[in-house]
Amino acid sequence: MTKKIKDLIYEQIAQSFIPEYRNKATDQEGLDLLVSHYFEWCGDLIIETFCEALEDANFHTFRQEVLDLAKKHNIIK
């Protein structure tokens, strides 16, 4: 699975960045673009996905802080 995701990230980087920047683009930037495109720039879905990743990584307290902040700003319910 990790190899498939990396391949998608590298493909996204190749499609999204000018040749002069491609070698400098990080995996995080490529994944960011994949997630943003996948959720069609819908901030609440991106935040919820981010929070699920935090949960999987055992950042439970920080996840809750992000959710509380998003709710405070009426981004999610």
> Could you report the per-residue pLDDT of 67-76, keeping only the tens digit for each?
999 999 999 9
Report the number of secondary-structure helices (H) and strands (E) in the chain: 5, 0
Residue 13 lies in a domain: yes
Domain count for the chain: 1
> Could you report the per-residue pLDDT of 8-62, keeping only the tens digit for each?
999 999 999 999 999 999 999 999 999 999 999 999 999 999 999 999 999 999 9
Residue 8 lies in a domain: yes
Residue 32: closest CA among 76, 67, 3, 17:
17
Domain interval for residue 9: 2-72
| Distance (Å, whole) CA 77 – CA 15 | 34
Residue 77 lies in a domain: no
Residue 23 lies in a domain: yes
Residue 77: per-residue pLDDT: 84
